[in-house]
Amino acid sequence: MSFSELLTKEMNDTLRQVGYSKPTPIQEQTLPALLEKRDMIGLAQTGTGKTAAFMIPILENIFPPNKKVQALIMCPTRELAMQTAKVAKELSGHIKGLRTVSVYGGQPASIQIRALRAGAQIVVGTPGRLKDLIKRNVLKLKNVRTVVLDEADEMLDFGFRDDMKEILSCVPESRQTMLFSATMNREVRQIARQFQVEPEQVEVGEKNQPVKTVAQSYMQTNRKSNTVCDLINHSQPRLTLVFCNTKRKVKEVQRELFHKGYATACLHGDMGQRERDTIMNTFRKGKTKVLVATDVAARGIDIEKIDMVINYDVPDKSDYYVHRIGRTGRAGKDGKACTLISPRERGKIKDLERKLHIRIARENGPQGAEPKVV
């Protein structure tokens, strides 16, 4: 199936301009039903093209002269909300008069209120801020025809269940509801049963499995900081994301790499939104080459140029491992993920292999090489 078989000429032209040559598996399997305004459950990991899978039908069915909110997209994190709004703007270049607004915590509500009052057909946001704006009577949903619950399992994990239900109760029942999730647990099923009507279900890839475009390995080392340098110097990635289990360790590792001459920054939960946005912008633009982060702080990061993920600490949960290495190998591109272990942590790799039904290859690399400034 090609895009040209399903979409308008204008949408096809825009897709070509932004580099979409052919549908990804999730797009190929969901677009026909979504364009017919059917409800959908899409089970897919991040990095599979699911954002475009739900955004394209929204844009094909939008009515630009109506400045009221017609599509509502809920996301678990600020970063994912901003990234989704960016995709909406990229794919809607051919639609005159279309506005997309993203709303989330960490930014003054007054800015978002002004944007909404100026008119927007598509609103993307986190449940907490969406609920707040509804209560203020600023966000009005009676004209909404499409709702997307993106990364529904993550939203439920973050404790947004009640907020999601309250928001959905404000939307007309005649809407189309799309639900995308990496997993289909009991809570996700309950949300689907309550708020969808005879949804089609599409599953791409294996549930809770790392994407197959990521080469996974581990290295045993007593000098993790030096090994991070060795990996970067050898592979020459465009951007590298280093994960640690604690904020304290993130700060420590970032400081060590900085003193060794690397253009590096850190990301953790104590940061304000403005500082966080600045760090993400410099990383996205390549001014910062190495970003050291905690699991929660890195939720929703979607940057195609991340060629390598390094687990400085072995993650506490197998889900965290899948999420971490899913930051590379995006949209079918190749990526590399290496987990560093001390001699006593070999059992942790075995645990990950057993829980995820995968094999993580042992990698032997040079130790203690001189770091090169990047």
The full set of domains in the chain, from first to last, is: 3-203 (3.40.50.300), 214-362 (3.40.50.300)
Indicate whether 137 pLDDT > 60.
yes
Phi-psi region of 205 (alpha: psi -120 to 50; beta: other; left: phi over 0): left
Q: What is the predicted pLDDT for the residue at 369?
A: 40
Compare 124 and 324 and report the one with higher pLDDT.
Answer: 124
Confidence of residue 239 (pLDDT cuts 50, 70, 90): very high
- Give the mean model confidence (pLDDT) for residues 55-74: 97
Confidence of residue 357 (pLDDT cuts 50, 70, 90): confident
Q: What is the predicted pLDDT for the residue at 183?
A: 79
- What letter represents residue 51's amino acid? T
- What letter represents residue 241's amino acid? L
| Token pair belonging to 8 | 């308008």
| Residue of 37, 46, 5 whose CA lies nearest to 319 | 46
Indicate whether 300 pLDDT > 80.
no
Task: Tell me what percent of the residues of the chain surpass a pLDDT of 90.
Answer: 70
Q: What is the pTM of this model?
A: 0.70
Indicate whether 370 pLDDT > 60.
no
Indicate whether 275 pLDDT > 90.
no
Indicate whether 374 pLDDT > 50.
no
Q: How many residues does the chain have?
A: 374
Compare 299 and 40 and report the one with higher pLDDT.
Answer: 40
pLDDT 10s digits, 184-227: 888 999 999 999 999 999 988 655 566 678 999 999 999 999 99
Task: Tell me what percent of the residues of the chain surpass a pLDDT of 70.
Answer: 94
Phi-psi region of 52 (alpha: psi -120 to 50; beta: other; left: phi over 0): alpha
* Alpha carbon separation from 31 to 15, 53, 146, 184, 193 (Å, rounded): 14, 6, 14, 20, 22
Q: What is the predicted pLDDT for the residue at 331?
A: 66
Do residues 91 and 42 lie in contact, with contact meaning Cβ atoms separated by under 8 Å? no
Phi-psi region of 232 (alpha: psi -120 to 50; beta: other; left: phi over 0): alpha
- Give the mean model confidence (pLDDT) for residues 304-324: 90
